[in-house]
Structure 1
Amino acid sequence: MTAPATTTYDALKKKQSALIRKALEGSIFIADYSAQLPTALTSGASADLLALPAGYEDIGWVDKADGATWSQSLDTSDVTSWGAVEPTRTDIKKETAGLKFTAQETKKRTLELYEGVNLSGVTPDATTGEVRFSRPSRPSPRHFRAFGLFVDGAGADTIYVAKLAPKATVTDKENQKWTDNDDPVGYGVTLTAKYDDAAKTAMSYFFGGPGWKALLEQMGFKTTPPSGG
């Protein structure tokens, strides 16, 4: 019998600091549910960032402490069997994904998200510019498109990472504080991703940019030459 090959830990390990990502800057874009879905993040051999479809609005500045917090949770069901000390089968019953952030800009879109109203029909007073609206007696859930994007690196090393919740609904809100401390008036909301019939998913993921393209093989992805090349 051939003796098993031996090695050292230094020969086994493979730690690549170039693959550590950091969200140096980013934005959360919100659109009405009627807006078209983004289908790609970048274009061309230089992996340039694509414009978003019409209707996607940057929510603007958000609180730095949490930034854009994407949550994921699983509910599972275990089968236990006679004579086994661990479950013999596990099924996923529910998977929930969401996005939490605190918007710092007071504007139409943040008010719509936080107050749960549709302000498309609200017109400022022609004389004073005052805006007034009331919460409906029986609010109904409203669906949005939510697209989060962050940028890492610069120039030829630029990497874009994005997540799309094609059917997102506000399911929780943070208390709003009016104080004179260092924190501005904020609009803290949690959006929960629901399955969208058009997108055929509750969440889509995008990774691109010239820096991402240069690291494909290093990250373990198989690459193929472009068609015709």
Structure 2
Amino acid sequence: MPTFDTIRQDADERALIRKIQKAVAFLAPTTVDLPDSLFTGVGALIDLKVAGWLPVGMVTPDGYNFGRDVSKEDVSAFGYAGPARSDVTEVARSITFTPLETGRRHMLELTYGTDLTATTQDVTTGEVVFDEPELPVGQEYRLLIIGSDGPAAENWILGRGYGIVKLASTDSQTWGSSDPVTAPVTLDVFTDTEIGAPVRHYMGGTGAVKHKTVTGFTPETP
């Protein structure tokens, strides 16, 4: 007869407790396909640069925050203190992060909501001049965020792919000697009609291979 401790030992798995130690994010125009997999056939990660993805660059230590605000409607019944039925009616998703790198064209386009395709840089002075529009143009992008945890022999790669994101807000920017020039960015997430979902989740790596029996997924037939 099992004891509480043997039941717990069988139920708990330390290897599935993950932290994101490192992460990298990329933007792309909606003409670039969201990858079906983050890996090539031999287990290496795909080359995102060749595929047309543009790096967000370094962000502040708080990393990437994935908001998920669920709204629901309850049905009340006479004589009952709690709802007799509850239905989810809306899930508002968002991503918030604070870029540290300043000057990438595509990040300036995202932050200020403008098109800088025709903007050039002076080869002598390095100067770039552009006007911030009164209202952002509302450009839509694809977004891919990949996180890594664990050593090479037991490495977990977690990813989130978004078919359509759009600038929702940027916070105030401060110029001073004590802190870098930053402005938090919040992106709204929309369902992409090509993908049919708002978010595509990825999980893989040598850690996922090593612990495949406890993740609970059916192995793919070769």
**TM-score, scaled to structure 1:** 0.88
Deviations 1:91-150 (A, max 9, x none): 111101111110010121221121111211111134433111112234321101110000
Instruction: Pick closer, same or farther for the CA change 1:47–1:54 going to 2, 3 Å.
Output: closer
In the aligned structure 2, how far is the partner of 1:139 from the partner of 1:109? 14
1:222 to 215, 218, 221: 218
Find out whether 1:175 has 2:172 as its counterpart: yes
Give the corresponding residue for 1:77. Answer: 73
Q: Is the 8 A contact 1:151 1:159 kept in 2?
A: yes
| 2:42 maps to 1:40 | no
Aligned positions of 1:46-85 closer than 5 A: 47-52=43-48, 54-64=51-61, 66-85=62-81
**Is it true that 1:145 corresponds to 2:142 in the alignment?**
yes
Match of residue 15 from structure 1 = 12
1:149 partner SS: strand
Q: Which residue of 1 aligns with 2:158?
A: 161
> Which has the larger displacement, 215-224 or 86-95?
215-224
Q: Where do 5+ consecutive residues of structure 2 fail to align?
A: none
Q: Percent identity?
A: 29
* Rg comparison, structure with higher value: 1
Between the aligned partners of 1:124 and 1:11, the Cα distance in structure 2 is 67
Contact kept? 2:26, 2:145, Cα under 8 Å: yes
Name the SS of the counterpart of 1:146 in structure 2.
strand
Equivalent position amino acid for 2:182 in 1:
G
Structure 1 residue ranges (4+ consecutive) displaced by more than 6 angstroms after TM superposition:
none
| Structure 1 unaligned blocks of 5 or more | 1-5
Partner of 2:91: 95
Whether contact under 8 Å (2:169, 2:185) holds in the other structure is yes
**Greater shift after overlay, 14-23 or 121-130?**
121-130
Deviation of 1:220 (Å): 2.3
Deviates more, 1:9-18 or 1:139-148: 9-18
Aligned residues: 218
SS in 2 for 1:42: coil
CA distance in 1, matches of 2:99, 2:117: 20
1:132 aligned onto 2:129:
yes
Query: CA shift at 1:84, angstroms?
Result: 2.1
Aligned-partner Cα distance in 2 for 1:154–1:7: 34
Per-residue CA distance 1:32-60 (angstroms, 9 max, x = gap): 2222221111233x532222362211111
